[in-house]
Amino acid sequence: MTATPRMVQPISRPDSPLVDAVEPSPNIEARRRGLSPSILLLHYTGLESMAKAIDWLTREGSGVSCHYGIDMDGRITQMVAEENRAWHAGESVWAGETDINSVSIGVEIHNPGHQLGYPDFPEAQMQAVELLSRDIVARHGIRPERVLAHSDVAPARKKDPGEKFHWARLARAGIGHWVVPVPVSAAAPGSSLGVAGPQVATLQRALLRYGYGIEPTGVVDARTEAVVTAFQRHFRPQRVDGRIDDSTIATLDRLLTALPSYVT
């Protein structure tokens, strides 16, 4: 017997007491395969204003939506109930899961993005990100290593929230996984496209073990460069160039070693 699909209704009241406004999006559905949130996925809007982002995320036919939006002044808007599947991740993968929308709660943080000047994330906004993120991860039991950037799950397509985002600050507040990056050496530019060898394969396997969608080929191909770039944006933002260097390798090793479930 086939189970009756759950009726999905637009949000009517917020899930978090931190929410300032509710703007229901019609672009929703039930989470598939009985999945529940285990990832907190952070984005930037890439638009001129939060108002434009909310308009797009709540417009019927836009094909996109997100659970929350946070303006630069810290104002939090909820658009999709946490129990429902929003359409924010797109084609993406993490730890072998390809339906990231069904296992994640998405937060759009207003920032015009790399194509529109990419300003710093202001203090009021980061305070709101910190408070809302802590609330979400506590209620859903989301593990630190599953607080991710959009670029982590879609490295070939996305840059957000980018290298200016304050991941270290969130980690100090108990949100997300972070280690102090190994310093970058100007004398060691690292391996780039086309380079092959055991060091490349070792890094690819380590990235795959951490959760990134990558195949250990032993060659620095376009996918590897994109994944390394995404890793650097999140965990080694001092230099984001997609090259496999000693700093990137050592920082990834620190992260893996710091995982509670890590086995050598």
Summarize pLDDT for 82-106 with one digit per residue, the tens. 999 999 999 999 999 999 999 999 9
Q: Same structural domain for residues 238 and 122?
A: no
Q: Same structural domain for residues 225 and 146?
A: no
CA distance 7 to 31: 11
**Taking all residues of the chain, what is their mean pLDDT, rounded to a whole number?**
94
Q: Same structural domain for residues 210 and 164?
A: no
In a domain, 117, yes or no: yes
Q: Same structural domain for residues 104 and 203?
A: no
Summarize pLDDT for 183-224 with one digit per residue, the tens. 998 876 777 778 888 889 999 999 999 999 999 999 999 999
Q: Same structural domain for residues 89 and 130?
A: yes
SS3 222: helix
CA distance 245 to 243: 6
In a domain, 242, yes or no: yes
Residue 190 has what pLDDT? 75
In a domain, 76, yes or no: yes
Q: Same structural domain for residues 134 and 58?
A: yes
| pLDDT band with cut points at 50, 70 and 90 for residue 68 | very high
Taking a C-beta distance cutoff of 8 angstroms, is the pair 32, 5 a contact? Answer: no
Domain total in the chain: 2
Residue 230, pLDDT > 70, answer yes
The least confident of 4-8, 71-75, 223-227 is 4-8
Strands (E), the chain: 21-22, 28-30, 39-44, 68-70, 76-78, 84-86, 104-109, 147-149
Retrieve residue 243's tokens. Answer: 């090259």
The CATH number assigned to the domain holding 209 equals: 1.10.101.10
Summarize pLDDT for 123-137 with one digit per residue, the tens. 999 999 999 999 999
- Among 102, 137, 172, the domain-final residue is 172
For residue 64, which amino acid is it? V
Residue 262, pLDDT > 60, answer no
pTM for the full predicted model: 0.95
Residue 179, pLDDT > 60, answer yes
- Cite the active site residues: 108
In a domain, 11, yes or no: no
Residue 57 has what pLDDT? 98
| pLDDT band with cut points at 50, 70 and 90 for residue 43 | very high
Which CA distances in Å does 174 have to 144, 169, 250?
8, 9, 23
Q: What domain range is 129 assigned to?
A: 21-172
The bridge status of strand 39-44 relative to strand 104-109 is parallel
φ/ψ (deg, to 5) at 69: -135, 140
CA distance 258 to 182: 14
In a domain, 1, yes or no: no
| pLDDT band with cut points at 50, 70 and 90 for residue 6 | low
Q: Same structural domain for residues 146 and 218?
A: no
In a domain, 183, yes or no: no
The bridge status of strand 68-70 relative to strand 21-22 is unpaired
In a domain, 34, yes or no: yes
